């Protein structure tokens, strides 16, 4: 299957605001790439940017030299083309984005859907929902935000919740989740402050950047994207968090959602009112839709703002853009609630090797580290082909980190030692540890990093290298 992508600088309408930004072709998100299990993909990327770029195929277990991340995959120089060629071994909801600087916090992202022909009878129609936090063209651009964070560090970037230079208390105490506050109109520009809000679900500070807009499928809440279905239909909603600094709490008004997949892999079905997605995570849900007009709301967790889309199945009028469904404060699904189905469970067994990734930060210089080192000074973790490894992420900071491993889908180990869901991105809360098991079945040098774009670019990245 042949596709082409053209990263370029162009103008886009976000539903009122018109901004000039980086995007694939002329849409944000980019046009979805679709394949079936086992298909061979050839994606020609023609770089029309004024800087190097790459395309990382987030969550797909592909060949190391096609991963779209240095050093295994060289970046594509301005004016040059490169064709990524790989097969897709697993079905699921994935996405693609650059692995160069802060470019993902522009408009360079798109869904990648791999179908399983055996699943087609389980739902009637499908809705792809891509969440994003947006600043380019309306606030500061992401590179300038990162520069400001580096100049000021976190300690001087605001005191509302103490940042990571203080304790997680202040507004970060349990039960003081600001995410349930009413939405406010978007600010005219992005602001940076260490600890821009707090959330009990995230264990304290929610992020470093407060954005002017939060989008679903490239649209602001006042001009939402609309999805049409018929009452009684079973709709599969594929939710992707393509944000750079924002967790989203997602709910569909007046509906419960049955979670069926985490990061592309099936789980034992669980009914929830809402879902919490960190950056890079994907969840698939099935909803039997009612008759009317219903907002799908993605609350920017702890940031006092939201994105929304509309599900239309019949007559009616949509509530105000600031409306927050009661479901947002119901049962919120997080990684602890899910267990992989038997057919995708890793075989039981003891690890051959134990690996650690200790997460820390130097707040005076806005440097984020794994095992005490920023990426330019990293000592890669090592593994041998065929080994089973237990990788333990230990968060020694006061902010949560969504940790992503390239080229593999691990199995989360629950606190009681039992098997959790299969994932490639897992949220690690402040002062907590999360262990994951993986089988070394895809040789290469693979990135491990925080999927907060600002943390990653400020050093929170290392490698998992295969050795002989």
The single residue listed with the structure tokens 């693979």 is 446
Show the tokens assigned to 393: 């992420």
pLDDT at 119: 80
More confident residue, 175 or 238: 238
Per-residue pLDDT averaged across 205-209, rounded? 96
Q: Say how many residues make up the chain.
A: 468
Q: How confident is the model at residue 166 (pLDDT cuts 50, 70, 90)?
A: very low
pLDDT at 121: 75
Per-residue pLDDT averaged across 270-279, rounded? 99
Q: How confident is the model at residue 172 (pLDDT cuts 50, 70, 90)?
A: very low
Q: Does residue 163 surpass a pLDDT of 80?
A: no
Mean pLDDT of the chain: 91
Per-residue pLDDT averaged across 228-241, rounded? 98
Show the tokens assigned to 311: 């599900």
Q: How confident is the model at residue 153 (pLDDT cuts 50, 70, 90)?
A: low
Q: How confident is the model at residue 176 (pLDDT cuts 50, 70, 90)?
A: very low
Q: Does residue 160 surpass a pLDDT of 90?
A: no
Cα dihedral angle (136, 139, 144, 145), rounded to 10 degrees?
-100
pLDDT at 362: 86
C-alpha distances in Å from residue 393, one per residue of 140, 375, 396, 406: 32, 16, 10, 15
Radius of gyration of the chain (CA): 21
Per-residue pLDDT averaged across 396-417, rounded? 97
Percent of the chain with pLDDT over 90: 87
pLDDT at 67: 98
Q: For 124, list phi and psi in degrees, rounded to 5.
A: -95, -35
Q: Does residue 411 surpass a pLDDT of 90?
A: yes
Cα dihedral angle (217, 200, 361, 462), rounded to 10 degrees?
-50
pLDDT at 382: 98
294-328 burial, b at 16+ Cβ within 10 Å, e below that, comes to: bbbbbbbbbbbbbbbbbbebeeeebbebeebbebb
pLDDT at 164: 31
Q: How confident is the model at residue 188 (pLDDT cuts 50, 70, 90)?
A: very low
Structural domains of the chain, ranges and CATH numbers in brackets: 2-115 (2.60.40.420), 343-467 (2.60.40.420)
SS3 170: helix
Q: What distance in Å separates the CA atoms of residue 318 and residue 178, rounded to the nearest whole number? A: 25
More confident residue, 156 or 119: 119
Can you list the alpha helix ranges (DSSP code H) found in 284-380? none
Please check whether residue 71 is in contact with residue 375, taking contact to mean a CB–CB distance below 8 angstroms. no
Pairing of strands 274-277, 282-288: unpaired
Note the Cα 419 to chain centre separation in Å.
22
Q: Does residue 150 surpass a pLDDT of 60?
A: yes
Please check whether residue 243 is in contact with residue 396, taking contact to mean a CB–CB distance below 8 angstroms. no
Please check whether residue 205 is in contact with residue 398, taking contact to mean a CB–CB distance below 8 angstroms. yes
More confident residue, 154 or 293: 293
SS3 content of the chain, % helix, strand, coil (to 5): 10, 45, 45
Q: pTM for the complete prediction?
A: 0.92
Q: Does residue 61 surpass a pLDDT of 50?
A: yes
- Which residues is 378 bridged to in the sheet? none
Percent of the chain with pLDDT over 70: 91
Q: Does residue 274 surpass a pLDDT of 90?
A: yes
pLDDT at 21: 98
Q: Does residue 353 surpass a pLDDT of 70?
A: yes
Write out pLDDT tens, residues 436-447.
Answer: 999 999 999 999
Q: Single out the residue of 454, 412, 453, 419 nearest to residue 433, CA to CA.
A: 412
Q: What distance in Å separates the CA atoms of residue 379 and residue 369, rounded to the nearest whole number? A: 11
Write out pLDDT tens, residues 426-465.
Answer: 999 999 999 999 999 999 999 999 999 999 999 999 999 9
């Amino acid at each position: 299957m042949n596709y082409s992508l053209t990263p370029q600088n162009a103008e886009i309408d976000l539903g009122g605001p018109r901004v000039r930004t980086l995007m694939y072709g002329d849409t944000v998100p980019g046009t979805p790439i679709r394949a079936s299990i086992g298909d061979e993909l050839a994606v020609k990327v023609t770089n029309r940017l004024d800087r190097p770029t790459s395309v990382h195929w987030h969550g797909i277990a592909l060949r190391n030299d096609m991963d779209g991340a240095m050093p295994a995959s060289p970046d594509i120089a301005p004016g040059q083309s490169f064709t990524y060629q790989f097969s897709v071994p697993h079905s699921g909801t994935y996405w693609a984005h650059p692995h160069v600087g802060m470019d993902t916090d522009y408009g360079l992202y798109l869904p990648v859907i791999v179908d399983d022909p055996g699943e087609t009878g389980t739902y009637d129609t499908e809705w792809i929902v891509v969440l994003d936090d947006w600043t380019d063209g309306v606030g500061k651009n992401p590179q300038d935000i990162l520069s400001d964070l580096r100049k000021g560090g976190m300690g001087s970037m605001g005191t509302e919740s103490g940042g990571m230079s203080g304790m997680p208390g202040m507004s970060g105490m349990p039960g003081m989740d600001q995410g349930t506050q009413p939405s406010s109109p978007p600010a005219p520009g992005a602001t940076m402050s260490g600890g821009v809000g707090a959330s009990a679900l995230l264990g304290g500070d929610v992020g470093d950047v407060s954005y002017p807009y939060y989008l679903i499928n490239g649209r602001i809440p006042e001009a939402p994207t609309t999805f049409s279905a018929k009452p009684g239909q079973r709709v599969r909603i594929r939710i992707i968090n393509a944000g750079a600094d924002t967790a989203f709490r997602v709910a569909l008004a007046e509906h419960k959602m049955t979670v069926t997949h985490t990061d592309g892999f099936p789980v034992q079905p669980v009914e929830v009112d809402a879902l919490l997605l960190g950056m890079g995570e994907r969840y698939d849900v099935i909803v039997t839709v009612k008759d009317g007009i219903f907002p799908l709301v993605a609350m920017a967790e702890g940031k006092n703002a939201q994105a929304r889309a509309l599900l239309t199945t019949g007559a009616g009028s949509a509530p105000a853009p600031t409306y927050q469904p009661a479901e947002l404060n119901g049962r919120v699904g997080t990684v602890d609630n899910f267990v992989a189905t038997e057919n995708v469970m890793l075989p039981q067994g003891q690890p051959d090797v134990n690996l650690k990734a200790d997460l820390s930060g130097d707040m005076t210089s806005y440097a984020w580290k794994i095992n005490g080192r920023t990426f330019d000074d990293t000592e890669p973790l090592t593994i041998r082909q065929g080994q089973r490894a237990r990788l333990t992420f230990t968060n020694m900071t006061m902010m949560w980190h969504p940790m992503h491993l390239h080229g593999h889908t691990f199995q989360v180990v629950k606190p009681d030692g039992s098997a959790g869901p299969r994932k490639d991105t897992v949220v690690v809360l402040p002062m907590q540890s999360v262990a994951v098991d993986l089988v070394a079945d895809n040789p290469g040098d693979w990135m491990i990093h925080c999927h907060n774009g600002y943390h990653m670019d400020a050093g929170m990245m290392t490698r998992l290298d295969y050795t002989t």
